[in-house]
Amino acid sequence: MTEPTDADGALDADYAAAGFTGRLGWGEKPALVLVDFAVAYAEPTSPLFGGPTIMEAVASAQRLLGVARAQGVPVIFTTVRYHADGRDGGVFFRKVPPLRCFLPDSPLGALIDGFEPGEGETLIVKQYPSAFFATPLASMLRAEGVDTVVITGLTTSGCIRSTATDAMQHGFVPVVVREAVADRMPGPHEANLFDIEAKVGDVVSEAEAANAFETFGVGKGR
């Protein structure tokens, strides 16, 4: 399990006693999904700033991206864009005014340098938290024989949790890379990682994810 949020470990003990300690493990073919690495989360003056560890998450995801590319692991990027009046954002756009960062005239909606899709890679445009909701992601992954979705991106309590939950609900093993996700405050970040690992998927280190890419990537003959 991830680190407990209480000093005496009572939370971990309670969850363990109830049986929330299962691990799904790796499938046969992973894909790397890089969720919303947008300037809006990296710019400290932005209302969507992703917190003090944001650049560590960016660096971790970039390292994993390099490994995935070297091993022929499928790579999918996501970004958020809205019509000028936000009508395609529905209730979500009304609920979260900072989503105006993703209107057409905002430079905050651009991807962070280093997260440009390469040849053969996919950029999915979405309007809601999950990379799966109202997008072709699930059908694309199935067509490529993917069974494990390695999730990096921003932010943990929003788009990462939603994407992990939908991955599970679509029948994929969700694997969230701890070092490659971040949130504006430590509390929501840790609480959501804890819940993801207890009820949704696996939370792993960058090193474990990189090793999986090297083990299962087509560069190793699979």
Nearest alpha-carbon partner for 184 in 74, 42, 83, 15: 42
> Measured at the alpha carbon of residue 95, what is the angle toward residues 112 and 136, in degrees to the nearest 5?
55
CB atoms within 10 A of CB 111: 17
CA distance 79 to 101: 12
β partners of residue 22:
none
Active site residue 159: yes
| DSSP symbol at 33 | E
Strands 148-154 and 30-35: parallel
* Residue 140 DSSP SS3: helix
Find the distance separating the first CA and the last CA of the chain, reported in whole Å. Answer: 30
The residue from 80, 149, 159, 181 that is catalytic is 159
Nearest alpha-carbon partner for 47 in 117, 88, 96, 81: 96
* Residue 32 DSSP SS3: strand
Question: Which residues lie closer than 8 Å to 139 by C-beta, 6 or more apart?
Answer: none
Q: Any idea which residues carry the catalytic annotation?
A: 159
